[in-house]
Amino acid sequence: MPLLLYLIVFSGILVFLLYSAIVFYSEGAKRALVITLLIASAVLAMLVLPVLIPWNEHRSVIILITMGALVVVFILNPKQNGLSWPPLQQTDERTTMFSRKELAPESEAHQQYYSHHPQHLQADKLFRSKPGLLHAQAAFYHPFGFRAAEAAFSVVKTLVPLVQGRPSGEPTHFSPSENTRFVINWTKKLGALEAGIAPMKPYHFYSHKGRGAQYGERINNNHPYGIAFTVEMAHQFLNSAPHTPIVMESAQQYLDAGSIAIQLAVFIRSCGYEATAHIDGNYEVVCPLVAKDAGLGELGRMGLLMTPRQGPRVRIAVVTTNMPLIPNKPFHDPTLTHFCRICKKCAACCPGQAIPSDHPTPLNGRIRWQINQEACYTYWCLSGTDCGRCMQVCPFSHPDNLLHNLIRFAIRHSMLFRLAAAKLDDLFYGAKPAAKSLPEWLPQKNRTIGLSDKGQ
């Protein structure tokens, strides 16, 4: 009986490894494929060992007990401490890089901002000395790729007049649960990956507008609910980060998220309720904070929303409203932030060296990670793309399939596996995996000017 159990266990391991090899082959992960096949060969040798040498039941028992003990040890998962929550202060959108880049030199707004924030002046002079996002002189310029991204961003701008509007007619009276069920499922039907409802708090909102005609105005949005949703970024395009395909995919998903948000807001207003869409370039909210409280994910080392199945490989949009809804429970997974403490792969691979590699530190009364947004955006302006290197290398960004979902499950449920997982990811994919080649249908004459994806 022990020998039969031994053969069943190792046959199961071999089948799993062969399945993994098929997954790695389909992903084009050659390094992972070779390593998996080598491990499978070793397991095959263990499987046929009883046939090749004299065997007794005691060997099977010893091996099975050893494997069982390892399983028991690996399922230990002591309680971990997450990041401090919620934030204590609002963010002023005027301090973000997306606002600061729009300050025209010598303008009154420019002078006023840097008189209040002189510590930002030198860093901002540096990013302004670079070509800029989607600029023809940027390092990763591609005439088709950059124009495709610009086309998507241009279409997003056409949606701006529909961001806000007046409710039409008397409110449609359904129960909060019926409203919630319809809104969540309709949002997914429109193309969202996941959706949730957050009870809006002051820290979700920017304190002041930092972009557009309302620059500097106090934000007075009193909507009690925020509908947050994600759209998925294609793994193939993310794999090319920080080269041209990443900004093509980012722009497309900002457009897709924006169109869903606008359609949802227009629908809610047609039901007689107020609704504001928060889309690229027109935010009154900090989307990752709303998404966390809507139950969609956790905040990781890189400052992005980490979702359970796609990791940071998503874009987010939000619709705030006074339609009666039932909020989700906030997402709280300290095992995920514990993995971020261990992993540090995004920090090691960041071309702009913008992601901290140390433990989270006190910031405004809360323990959290804070990226160097000036270093990050300066690299954008140098490369011409929105980089995405941190998302590309994150172990949680691997495709949403059985293999990687099992690994994510193990990360969340085993402390020892979390300790090993980052090193295993380095082993199978490389500590600093190279960017994949451009899609074959994109002309390959991608001019560069001496900038590598390892940063400068």
Average pLDDT across the chain, whole number = 91
- The predicted pLDDT at position 455 comes to 41
The pLDDT value recorded for residue 445 is: 59
**Helices and strands (DSSP H and E) totals, the chain:** 17, 8
Query: 169, 274 in Cβ contact below 8 A?
Result: no
Mean pLDDT calculated for residue range 251-280:
98
- Condensed to tens digits (0 to 9), the pLDDT of residues 306-360 reads 999 999 999 999 999 999 999 999 998 899 999 999 999 999 999 999 999 998 8
pLDDT higher than 90, residue 251: yes
| Residue 393 confidence (pLDDT) | 96
Residues 437, 440, 446, 452, Cα dihedral to 10°? 0
CA distance 226 to 275: 9
Q: Which residue has the higher pLDDT, 260 or 84?
A: 260
CB of 265 closer than 8 Å to CB of 199: no
Q: 97-109 burial by CB neighbour count: b if 16+ within 10 A, else e?
A: bebbbbbeeeeee
Using DSSP, state whether 187 is helix, strand or coil: helix
Q: How many CB atoms lie within 10 A of CB 42?
A: 11
State pLDDT tens for residues 70-88.
777 677 777 777 788 888 8
Beta bridge partners of 133: none
- Write down how long the chain is: 456
CB contact set of 257 (below 8 Å; sequence gap of 6+): 192, 229, 230, 231, 279, 280, 315, 316, 317
Indicate the pairing of strand 305-306 with strand 298-299: antiparallel
Query: What is the model's pLDDT at position 360?
Result: 87
Strand ordering across the sheet containing 314-321: 194-199, 225-232, 314-321, 275-278
pTM: 0.91
Summarize the confidence of residues 99-125 as an average pLDDT. Answer: 94
Most confidently modeled range among 250-264, 328-342, 438-452: 250-264
Check residue 450 and give its pLDDT: 42
pLDDT tens by residue, 270-283: 999 999 999 999 99
Residue type, 453: D
More confident residue, 209 or 65: 209
Quote the CA–CA distance of 299 and 312 in Å, as a whole number.
9
pLDDT recorded at residue 66: 78
Could you report the per-residue pLDDT of 166-216, keeping only the tens digit for each? 999 889 989 999 999 999 999 999 999 999 999 999 999 999 999 988 999
Q: Read off φ and ψ for residue 286, nearest 5 degrees.
A: -90, 100
Which band of pLDDT confidence, cut at 50, 70 and 90, is reported for residue 452?
very low
194 DSSP β-pair partners = 230
Give the SS3 label for residue 305.
strand
pLDDT at 456 over 70: no
Rg value, the chain, Cα: 25
Residues 6+ apart with CB under 8 A from 442: 142, 144, 145, 244, 245
Task: Give domain limits for the chain.
Answer: 2-74, 84-456
pLDDT of residue 447: 45
Share of the chain above pLDDT 90, in %: 76
Strand partners for 196 = 228
**Residue 147 vs residues 217, 247, 441, 454: alpha-carbon distances, Å:** 33, 10, 15, 25
